[in-house]
Structures are given as C-alpha cells and as structure tokens.
C-alpha cells in the first residue's frame, strides 16, 4: 500500500475513528482533537516504514491509546464499580445514539472501549481485545459489565449543558455572529489578533491575521448559510444552518477563542460533518 492509498483508506475510516474517540473522551470536539493526534502518529509511523496487516485494527489501537492519554492527562474519568458477573444483551443502535457522551464517560475505560467498539462500531470481541491490549475473556467481561452499567446510567436524564458566560463575553460572541449575519467581514478582521489561528478542521490550519483573510472571503461568496448564537457541548458557538433546508439542525458550527477583546482562535467544522453525528447543541438567540 503506497502513501496515497494509505491516506485514502485513513480518510474513509475517519468518521468511525471519530465516533470512537468522541465517546471515549466524552466530547465530539475533544474527540476530534484526539483523532488528529492519532492520525499524526499514524502518518509518522507509516513514514518510518511501519507495515501492518490489519490497517483498521492498527488505527483503532492508535486512537484507543491517544484517547487514554487524553483522559489521563485531564484526569476526567469516573469509575463505576461493578462486581457482579452479569450477562447483558446488546444495546440497540438507536438506544446507543440517544446516550450522551457524558454518560459513556462514566464507564471505566475498558468497559467504555468494549461497548463502543462492539455496539457502536460492530467489532468482534477478538478485535476489541487486540485494540485494547487485553485477553478476549477480559474484553467479553468488560462488554457485559459495560452494557449493564450503561443501561443503569442512561436511566438518569442528563441536563442540557449551557455555557456560563459573563455579559462582556456574551457581547463579544454575539457581535461576531451579527457581523457574519450582516456580511460585515471587515469588522471581524479588526477583531483578530495578529497571531490568530484558523483550524478548518479536516482541511487546513493557518496562523496570522494576513494569512486567514481568504477564509472570510469564501464565506462572503456563499449566500446559503444562516448564522445563529448557540452552545455546543456547553461551549458558546456560532451555529451555521443551511437555509435551503428546514434549519432544524446545524450544518456545522464554529468555535471562537478570545484573549481580552481579540480573537485568537477560530475552529470551523465545515469539513468535519461527522462531528455533528450525536453532538449536544442548543440555540440561544
């Protein structure tokens, strides 16, 4: 497999890898960060001449380890003790989709890994063992316990996560969105820090006020988008709707980072539609 074939295969697996990372980390946004880190590691290993027989299993193994590194660094895991050796039926896909990321996050790491890989992504117990680096018996036990725990946890409804913002912060983000709504991109450019970073997720990364000007030009050329103030996983966000559709769900979203009154980071998920698959969002305006 040459590098072009490797990249094509990796891009095809990206949505599945993101589904895994997002549920392991408890966040679709953090899951994308972890996925990017995992892909960098995969490209580096491939450039070093690493050959693998099972590319999908190898990539999931890298994504699994990257997720664990993230969780341990943030110390965000909460262990749910389960001591009974219980049999549990598979959780239907429709029910899995309805379970929030934060609920998944309450499972111990191996249980979370087993349920996601088996009931979300359809891997076998043997494949789970290979990805998680454990025995098949341990993977089967973790899967059974995880299913029981997840059903118990999912019975407790979660609250919608809303951003906690000061009035000045709310004014800044709403001003940014208002300028988008009015097509006043020159006003937005005056808000940019000199070293502002643009992450057009899954497409390109740029840094510097002068280098990201074309980003706004492209938005000025497209008239189908409609913009609204909202929250994504508790973070204030600009929700972007396709006005040619029913506008019942965002087509994508944009996160803005600030330092005082200057924009220091723009993360636009236009080219990462898979992130919206089960993300928690709400419109606030």
Q: Tell me the pLDDT tens digit for each residue of 28-87.
A: 999 999 999 999 999 999 888 888 889 999 999 999 999 999 988 875 444 444 334 445
Question: CA quadruple 127, 130, 131, 135: dihedral positive or negative?
Answer: positive
> In this structure, is residue 42 part of a structural domain?
yes
Q: Tell me the pLDDT tens digit for each residue of 191-241.
A: 999 999 999 999 999 999 999 988 998 898 888 899 999 888 878 899 999
CA 257 – CA 234 distance, rounded (Å) = 14
The number of distinct structural domains making up the chain is 2
Q: What is the mean pLDDT of the chain?
A: 85
Query: Strand, coil or helix: what is 256?
Result: strand
What is this structure's pTM? Answer: 0.74
Higher-scoring residue by pLDDT: 90, 282 = 282
CA 108 – CA 14 distance, rounded (Å) = 24
> In this structure, is residue 91 part of a structural domain?
yes
Residue 83, pLDDT score? 36
Q: How far is C-alpha 65 from the chain's CA centre?
A: 16
Residue 159, pLDDT score? 47
Q: Residue 57's domain spans which residues?
A: 3-154
Q: Are residues 175 and 130 in the same domain?
A: no
Residue 99, pLDDT score? 67
Judge whether residue 157 has pLDDT over 60: no
Residue 76, pLDDT score? 46
Q: Are residues 120 and 15 in the same domain?
A: yes
- State which of 154, 187, 209 marks the end of a domain: 154
> In this structure, is residue 162 part of a structural domain?
no
């Amino acid at each position: 497999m040459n590098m072009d074939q490797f990249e094509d295969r990796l891009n095809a697996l990206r949505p599945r890898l993101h589904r895994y990372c997002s549920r392991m980390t408890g966040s679709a946004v953090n899951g994308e960060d972890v996925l990017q880190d995992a892909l960098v590691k995969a490209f580096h290993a491939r450039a070093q001449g690493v050959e693998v027989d099972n590319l999908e299993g190898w990539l999931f193994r890298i994504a699994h380890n990257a997720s664990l590194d993230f969780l341990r660094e943030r110390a965000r895991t909460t262990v749910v003790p389960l001591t009974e050796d219980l049999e549990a039926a598979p959780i239907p896909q429709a029910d899995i989709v309805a379970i929030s990321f934060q609920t998944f996050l309450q499972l111990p790491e191996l249980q979370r890994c087993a349920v996601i890989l088996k009931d979300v992504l359809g891997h076998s117990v043997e494949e789970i063992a290979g990805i998680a680096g454990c025995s098949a018996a341990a993977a089967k036990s973790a899967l059974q316990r995880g299913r029981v725990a997840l059903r118990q946890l999912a019975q407790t409804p979660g609250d919608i996560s809303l951003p906690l913002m000061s009035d000045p912060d709310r004014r800044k983000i709403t001003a940014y969105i208002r300028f988008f709504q009015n097509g006043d991109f020159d006003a937005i450019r005056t808000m940019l820090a000199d070293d502002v970073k643009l992450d057009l997720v899954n497409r390109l990364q740029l840094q510097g006020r002068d280098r990201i000007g074309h980003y706004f030009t492209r938005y000025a050329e497209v008239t189908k988008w409609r913009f609204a103030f909202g929250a994504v996983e508790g973070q204030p966000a600009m929700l972007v709707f396709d006005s040619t559709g029913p506008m019942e769900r965002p087509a994508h979203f944009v996160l803005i980072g600030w330092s005082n009154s200057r924009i220091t980071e723009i993360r636009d998920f236009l080219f990462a539609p898979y992130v919206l698959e089960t993300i928690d969002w709400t419109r606030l305006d």
